[in-house]
Amino acid sequence: MKLTFTRQYNMNPRQLLRRCGYAEFVDPRTGETSYTRRLSGGFYPRFHAYLERKEVGFQVNIHLDQKQASYHGQTKHSGEYEGEVVEREASRLHEQIEALKLK
């Protein structure tokens, strides 16, 4: 699910995601930076977000990782890109980030 933000905020996008409970995650295989929010004490399940800066604002692409890839060398996992749980988290993110916009 993609969320687009086009306003000016009191923080940069990285700080906004951290304020919403997401931790920065650097993939050891690719070096790509993304953000995760765990739902329990384990590494999975977790919300996983990718941040993309736009000419005006930024976009957050969020999904729910249910578990790690099942086969060695595979990057595919049991991810949910839509549905009630993802929609609730997207709504929570949107509300919290919008509350931090410049007045």
pTM of the model: 0.85
CA distance 69 to 79: 10
Structural domain range at position 10: 2-98
Contact 48, 68 (CB under 8 A): no
Q: Is the peptide bond before 13 cis (omega within 30 degrees of 0)?
A: no
pLDDT at 69: 63
User: Within its chain, how far is the Cα of 99 from the centroid?
Assistant: 18
Q: With 70 as the cut, is the pLDDT of residue 31 above it? A: yes
Confidence of residue 78 (pLDDT cuts 50, 70, 90): low
Domain count across the chain = 1
Task: Decide if 103 is inside a domain.
Answer: no
pLDDT at 70: 57
Task: Decide if 55 is inside a domain.
Answer: yes
Confidence of residue 79 (pLDDT cuts 50, 70, 90): confident
